[in-house]
Structure 1
Amino acid sequence: MAAITALYRYPVKGLSAESLPALSLRRGSGLAFDREYALALGSTAFDPEQPKPLDKGFFLMLRSNAVLAALTTRFDPETGRLAIGRGGQTLVEADLSSAAGREAVERFFEAYVGPAAKGRPRLVRAEGHKFTDGSVISPAFMRAVSLVNLASVRALEARTGQAIHPLRFRANIVVDGLEAWEELDWVDRAVSIGDLRLRGLARTPRCAAVDVNPETAERDTNLPKALKRHFGHVDLGLYLEVLCDGAVAVGDRLTLDPQTAGTA
């Protein structure tokens, strides 16, 4: 039987994961503080009063900015403070609720990323908006959570002969105990974790962001090409729509409903 082995959220798009023992999910909003903020390129126009979904290329992100993977970040929702570190040393700590704090973060990334930031990046947030990759598809995709099956990761490792850290795939929910690639057949199927119900929205196609090693910040693979060559597709993982309010914890069992799921 499949079980959850790890849970993550990503408060700032493109920055490091936060490992958590449990997550609370809501039908109308998905996972709180996941992709809540983003660092818009200096050339990007984004209006927080009238937010419109934008392709991830308008923001700092791993596909284009591998140096981001060298940083460790931690966000405290209660205080609004973001800490950014590298090699065990805190480089910046700032209150994102204040203009001065946001400016400190922006100045840091302007210097850290260099010309690729296209000027001073802007730390952006908008009420009810998430900077997920799927946001450009629909509101349901914007609020979806992502799942990765460790058996699929191991199948890819076996074909490439390389160790592949699951964090490359930046999932919210990591599960083990399934067959490899089983999750790809869950589109429009209901998934239960305790009292929580979710629906498979779509397989997760992979881009060059997964080629960045989360431990070394080096681009050391070509996993989309390897997926296509060995398995005939570039998908690994699944987007899930939250159908009701609930919580999940590491160790929880996951079951698949034999019937097609309804919509939220």
Structure 2
Amino acid sequence: MTISVAALWRHPIKAHGREPLERAALEAGKCMPWDRHWAVTHEATKADGSEWARCINFSRGASSPHLMALTAKLDEASGKVTLSHPELWDLTFDPDEDAQKFVDWVRPIMPAERRQSTGIMKVPGVGLTDSSWPSISLLNLASNAALGATFDAELSMDRWRGNIHLDGMAPWDEFDLVGKSIRVGTAEFEVRERIERCKATTVDPLTGQYDYDTLKSLRDNFGHLDFGVKAYVTKAGDIARGDTVEVL
């Protein structure tokens, strides 16, 4: 069985848009470059930018489903991000300088009864992923297909907001990687834990509307609420679409 990289993704602003990549240069002990580099604060945020903070401090798809339909494009040279949404005009802005411009732009798709976005935060050198340690998420295409089959539908992988999509595995075999080391391209990883999922995954990433109850199906059909695994980069290296994955 040959396991390969089917897709690479990053999310420059946590919960606010996904961006496909052809390749990435990884550093040991770091997230995917520019992944969750920024996060959007809300009215009850307690995070102050001095350290990693839990996702509850930030605006996210679990409570604001329309955010799931955002796509992003980062210009690394200028630090500017372009966000697109089916219900809004495209916005190009500097998250470090134009936070209010973003807040005004995103307001129409934020639920009025939920905490409203107030600004954009970053922690230098720290990716604001859902784990307190610098994680990269690996997802299995076959697991997604198995879950989709319970709805007699093809589910978009985009709803899982992962970094590395893997092809060539049997459904749920990614869980067997936990506790093992793998090599992807010239980078090496320690696979640490499964990813427990939230309500954001019940949203269609094309429309931002609720569609399939992925959580109920995971629980009822597979006995868990997990999709994908988190890994830690132990050896720096380059990864690219089409690379082979080797279990060490």
Q: Do the two structures share a fold, i.e. TM-score over 0.5? A: yes
TM-score by length of 2: 0.93
Pair 1:122-2:113 in alignment: no
Q: Is the 8 A contact 1:84 1:91 kept in 2?
A: yes
Listed one character per residue, the Cα deviations across residues 100-152 of structure 1 (whole Å, up to 9, x for unaligned) are: x12211222334415355345211111122211112xxx2xxx1100111111
Q: How far apart, CA to CA, are the structure 2 residues paired with 1:114 and 1:222?
A: 20
Q: Which residue of 1 aligns with 2:34?
A: 33
Q: Is the 8 A contact 1:41 1:117 kept in 2?
A: no
**Quick check: 1:67 aligned with 2:66?**
yes
Query: Is structure 2 residue 158 aligned with structure 1 residue 161?
Result: no
Correspondence for 1:132 = 129
Do the aligned partners of 1:151 and 1:178 also contact (CA within 8 Å) in 2? Answer: yes
* Closer/same/farther in 2, CA of residues 120 and 222 from structure 1, 3 Å limit: closer
Task: Structure 2: state its 5+ residue gaps.
Answer: none
Is there any run of 5+ residues in structure 1 with no aligned partner, and where? 258-264
> Is the Cα–Cα contact under 8 Å of residues 109 and 121 in structure 1 kept in the other structure?
no
Cα deviation, residue 87, structure 1? 3.7
Contact 1:60 1:117 in 2 (8 A): no
The answer to whether structure 1 residue 240 and structure 2 residue 231 are counterparts is yes
Closer/same/farther in 2, CA of residues 29 and 147 from structure 1, 3 Å limit? same
Structure with bigger helix share is 1
> Post-superposition shift, 1:168?
0.9
Q: Which SS does the other structure have where 2:145 is aligned?
A: helix
Q: Is the 8 A contact 1:107 1:120 kept in 2?
A: no
Does 2:211 match 1:214? no
The AA in structure 2 aligned to 1:131 is: L
SS across alignment from 1:156: helix
Cα 1:90–1:75 change in 2 (3 A) is farther
User: Identity over aligned residues, as a percent?
Assistant: 27
Matched residue type, 1:218: Q
Deviations 1:179-228 (A, max 9, x none): 11111011110111132111111011111111111112111111111011
Paired residues of 1:83 and 1:90 also in contact (CA < 8 A): no
User: How does 1:1-264 map onto structure 2 within 5 Å?
Assistant: 1-48=2-49, 50-54=50-54, 56-87=55-86, 90-98=89-97, 101-113=98-110, 115-116=112-113, 118-135=115-132, 139=133, 143-257=134-248
Q: 1:179 to 1:52 in 2, by over 3 A?
A: closer
Tell me the TM-score normalized by structure 1. 0.88
Cα-to-partner distance string for 1:230-258 (whole Å, 9 max, x where unaligned): 1111111110110011111000000112x
Question: Matched residues in 1 for 2:167 and 2:117: separation?
Answer: 41
Segment drifting more, 79-88 vs 152-161: 79-88
Mapped to 1, the partners of 2:18 and 2:117 lie a distance apart of 24
**Aligned structure 1 segments of 4 or more residues deviating by more than 4 angstroms:** none
**2:218 alignment partner AA:** L
Partner amino acid, structure 2, of 1:16: G
**Contact residue 72 and residue 86 of structure 1 kept, 8 A:** yes
Match of 1:261 in 2: none
Partner Cα distance (1:59, 1:38) in 2: 6
Q: CA deviation at 1:86?
A: 2.9
